[in-house]
């Protein structure tokens, strides 16, 4: 074989990864940098044009480049705000007032019982015997959490943060959406995977293929979402069925809580096949002799589920859950919400709609209100949050790596 010199190897590697690096620079690094720059300006519908005489603007603003340069128009050009962080202050400044910090502290205290519960459960997992089952520990932890929520008036803390803060309203609603949908998707997917992983069902392959259809159809999510919207219109399918039984159906998508529930239902329909396939693959990787040994020892189905199945599928399931939370089924949810409710129903002039999640809010700020700088600051904050969530998912992946080796 002909030995390659170090220089040739470097050139060959660069030939393969160079286009990728260039693509990342053009389509990721530059847009992120441009967005961060805009977040420090006062760019909006009244100041849409750049001031190309400014050095930094002349470098980063495409319309200032010679090949794209156009007339700047008659409006006052946008500029860096004074102070530069004014958009961020307007966005999250209320959270750092005395009232805001107290409310955040109350909400943080609500999670303390859950953290303690997780640590207690880990402690008992390392022991040969445990006085309380894992489910029992979590039930006790949840009851204590509910008590803490009631004692410190968490609802009042949330209400105080929502007053005058679009940022907290939208982020809190999105977090609530993720907290509800991700566990439901996991439980529903787990139940179906357990059923279709048994040897007693004829035609298992057919049913497994059928389960993938909602996920595959999600590639046409706009059309599928419009179908769901048709179900819940004032004269839609659901109300027509109720009319047969002489029941007057409500205006489903005009009621805030019901509209939010419809979004959760549609997301469940689109997302549960993903969890189903991940869990089914993990179940099929568990050696059958472990269940046979457990049956010989007299273990019940529930004991096998809690002590064999769930621990062994955890390395595959946990990263998938984290990724689904930060992906298009969680924080990046947009198309389904926009097609069904467009973020509505309205909660008043200027206030975010009842189903306005972070991506819908950002879209409206840019394309409806032309608040480019505000949307840029909002996008930067959400990007930082999702970036750390991604790092956390990578950490979980490293922790669970080699679990089956």
Q: Which tokens is 220 given?
A: 């046409």
Total domains present in the chain: 2
Tell whether 332 and 220 lie within a shared domain.
Answer: yes
Residue 3 belongs to a domain = no
Tell whether 263 and 179 lie within a shared domain.
Answer: yes
Tell whether 299 and 171 lie within a shared domain.
Answer: yes
**Which domain, by its residues, includes 101?**
86-164
pLDDT of residue 400: 55
Tell whether 209 and 275 lie within a shared domain.
Answer: yes
pLDDT of residue 348: 74
Asked if residue 227 lies in contact with residue 339, where contact means CB atoms within 8 angstroms, the answer is: no
Q: Which of 164, 187, 214 is the last residue of a domain?
A: 164
Residue 72 belongs to a domain = no
CA distances from 316 to 121, 163, 285, 382, 393 (A): 20, 41, 10, 26, 12
Distance, in Å, from the CA atom of 146 to the CA atom of 111, rounded to the nearest integer, reads 10
pLDDT of residue 226: 87
Residue 56 belongs to a domain = no
Where helices occur in 285-371 by DSSP H, the ranges are 288-296, 301-304, 310-326, 335-340, 358-367
pLDDT of residue 403: 46
Tell whether 253 and 312 lie within a shared domain.
Answer: yes
Residue 350 belongs to a domain = yes
pLDDT of residue 149: 92
Cα dihedral 130, 136, 140, 146 sign:
positive
pLDDT of residue 70: 65
C-beta atoms surrounding 306 within 10 Å: 15
Residue 339 belongs to a domain = yes
Distance, in Å, from the CA atom of 155 to the CA atom of 97, rounded to the nearest integer, reads 19
pLDDT of residue 35: 93
Asked if residue 233 lies in contact with residue 323, where contact means CB atoms within 8 angstroms, the answer is: no
pLDDT of residue 357: 93
Tell whether 140 and 245 lie within a shared domain.
Answer: no
Tell whether 354 and 205 lie within a shared domain.
Answer: yes
Tell whether 202 and 262 lie within a shared domain.
Answer: yes
Residue 206 belongs to a domain = yes
Tell whether 120 and 180 lie within a shared domain.
Answer: no
C-beta atoms surrounding 253 within 10 Å: 22
pLDDT of residue 101: 87
Nearest-CA neighbor of 358 among 385, 398, 394? Answer: 385
* Contacts with 385 (C-beta within 8 Å, 6 or more apart), sequence order: 331
Distance, in Å, from the CA atom of 382 to the CA atom of 359, rounded to the nearest integer, reads 10
Query: What burial letters (b/e) apply to 174-183, b meaning 16+ CB within 10 Å?
Result: bbebbeebbe
Residue 2 belongs to a domain = no
Tell whether 153 and 238 lie within a shared domain.
Answer: no
How wide is the angle at C-alpha 85 spanned by C-alphas 84 and 89, nearest 5°?
A: 145
Distance, in Å, from the CA atom of 258 to the CA atom of 344, rounded to the nearest integer, reads 11
Distance, in Å, from the CA atom of 206 to the CA atom of 193, rounded to the nearest integer, reads 13
Residue 79 belongs to a domain = no
CATH code, domain carrying 338: 1.10.3720.10
The pTM (predicted TM-score) of the whole model is 0.86
Q: Which of 164, 179, 208 is the last residue of a domain?
A: 164
Tell whether 323 and 383 lie within a shared domain.
Answer: yes
* Contacts with 130 (C-beta within 8 Å, 6 or more apart), sequence order: 124
Q: Is 375 helix (H, G, I), strand (E, B) or coil?
A: helix
Where helices occur in 166-287 by DSSP H, the ranges are 166-196, 204-217, 221-231, 237-244, 256-284
**pLDDT by residue, tens only, the chain of 405 residues:** 455 567 788 888 888 898 898 999 999 999 999 999 999 999 888 888 888 888 888 889 888 888 777 665 557 888 888 888 899 988 887 788 888 889 889 999 999 998 899 888 888 877 767 777 777 888 899 999 999 999 999 888 888 887 767 888 899 899 999 999 999 999 999 999 999 888 787 878 888 888 888 877 766 778 888 888 999 988 889 999 999 988 888 889 999 999 999 999 999 888 888 889 999 999 998 988 898 898 888 888 888 888 889 888 988 888 888 888 887 777 888 988 999 999 988 877 778 888 999 999 999 999 888 899 999 999 999 989 888 887 877 776 665 555 444
Tell whether 340 and 374 lie within a shared domain.
Answer: yes
Q: Which of 140, 164, 188 is the last residue of a domain?
A: 164
């Amino acid at each position: 074989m002909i030995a390659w010199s170090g220089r040739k190897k470097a050139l060959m590697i660069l030939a393969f990864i160079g286009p990728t690096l260039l693509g990342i620079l053009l389509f990721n690094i530059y847009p992120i940098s441009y967005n961060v720059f805009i977040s420090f300006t006062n760019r909006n519908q009244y100041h849409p044009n750049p001031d190309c005489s400014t050095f930094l603007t002349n470098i980063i603003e495409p319309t200032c480049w010679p090949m794209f340069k156009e007339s700047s128009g008659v409006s006052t050009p946008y500029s860096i705000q004074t102070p530069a962080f004014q958009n961020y202050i307007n966005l999250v400044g209320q959270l750092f007032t005395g009232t805001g910090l107290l409310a955040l502290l109350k909400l943080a205290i609500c999670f303390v019982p859950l953290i303690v519960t997780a640590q207690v459960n880990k402690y008992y997992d390392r022991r040969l015997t445990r006085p309380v089952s894992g489910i029992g520990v979590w039930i006790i932890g949840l009851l204590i959490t509910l008590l803490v929520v009631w004692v410190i008036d968490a609802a009042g803390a949330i209400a105080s943060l929502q007053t005058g803060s679009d940022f907290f309203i939208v982020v809190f609603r999105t977090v609530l959406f993720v907290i509800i949908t991700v566990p439901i998707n996991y439980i529903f997917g787990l139940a179906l995977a357990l059923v279709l992983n048994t040897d007693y069902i004829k035609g298992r392959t057919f049913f497994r293929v059928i389960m993938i259809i909602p996920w595959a159809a999600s590639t046409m999510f706009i059309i599928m979402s419009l179908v769901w919207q048709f179900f819940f219109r004032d004269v839609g399918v659901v109300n027509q069925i109720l009319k047969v039984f002489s029941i007057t159906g409500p205006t489903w998508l005009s009621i805030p809580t019901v509209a939010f529930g419809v979004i959760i239902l549609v997301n469940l329909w689109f997302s549960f096949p993903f969890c189903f396939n991940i869990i089914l693959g993990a179940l099929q990787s568990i050696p059958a002799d472990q269940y046979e040994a457990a049956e010989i020892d007299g273990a019940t189905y529930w004991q096998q589920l809690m002590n064999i199945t769930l621990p062994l599928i955890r390395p595959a399931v946990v990263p998938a859950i984290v990724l689904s939370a930060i992906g298009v089924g969680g924080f990046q949810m947009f198309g389904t919400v926009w097609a069904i409710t467009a973020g509505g129903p309205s909660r008043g002039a200027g206030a975010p709609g009842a189903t306005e999640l972070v991506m819908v809010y950002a879209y409206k700020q840019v394309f409806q209100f032309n608040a480019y700088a505000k949307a840029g600051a909002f996008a930067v904050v959400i990007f930082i949050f999702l970036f750390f969530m991604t790092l956390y998912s990578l950490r979980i992946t490293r922790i669970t790596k080699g679990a089956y080796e």
